[in-house]
A and B are shown apart, each in its own frame.
Chain A
Amino acid sequence: MKSWITFLIPNDEYKEKRILYLLAEGGILLFLSLIVMVIWNQYFLMNTNTALLILVTIFLFYVTARYTLSGIEYTDVATESSYKKELKHIRTKTISFVLIFIVLFLFISGVPANKTEWVEIGGLLISVGFLWYLTSFISLKRSYKKNKELL
């Protein structure tokens, strides 16, 4: 079956089906949120930017959270050695991401002028890095558990 979102969908048919379900659920949730927001807007005024941000967050959070918890990301991690290897890989990826982010930030925005700016960028980096690591870790843990049960 051909679709313009084919490039987003994995080749494995089980994973493909699960991801399509997640996207469809996210889409329906988004539609329902839009209806709620239209009704809400009749009684309370809401800033357009805030409303759009809430809607985008609902969709992204739902799809990401369900994907992370579904245990379908690391399909081949079923042994302790492969689990540890993947965990190490996640750590490396997180550190690389943080380093690349710092370099790009310094290149685009320039070196922070004062202590407050350093704290702001440091806080942002720690938060994003931690969130990245945490979601990958949970996903790996869930995948490992699921795969072990299927052996």
Chain B
Amino acid sequence: MKNNVRTSRLNLSMTQEQLAVRVGVTRQTIGLIEKGEYNPSLQLCISIAKVLNKTLNDLFWEV
């Protein structure tokens, strides 16, 4: 699933590692989500959206 996670993260000057720690997953998982190779659970989507100060629509809706 394509998404805007990478762009939003970079806009906040945040590393994959930092985002991973904040949402409680590994750096690899964040990398896979950004590449669209793993579809996260709704719970994880919400956690990422909260950390990046974005809505689910901003991050995941039909990119």
Q: Which chain A residues have a beta carbon within 8 Å of chain B's beta carbons?
A: 11-15, 72, 75-76, 78, 143, 146-147, 150-151
Q: Within B16-44, which residues are at the interface with A (CB < 8 Å)? A: 16-17, 24-29, 31-32, 34-35, 38, 40-41, 44
Known: A13-B41, A13-B44, A76-B17. A151 touches B31 (CB 8 A): yes
CA distance A126 to B58 in the complex (A): 55
Q: In the complex the two chains form, is B27's CB within 8 Å of A75's CB?
A: yes
A29 to B46, CA, bound (A): 37
Most buried by A among B17, B31, B38, B40: B31
Least CB distance from B4 to A in Å reads 17
Residues of B within 8 A of A13 (CB): 25, 29, 40-41, 44
**Shortest beta-carbon distance from A144 to chain B in Å:** 11
Selected from B17, B24, B32, the residue in CB contact (under 8 A) with A14 is: B32
Do the beta carbons of B24 and A150 come within 8 Å of each other? no
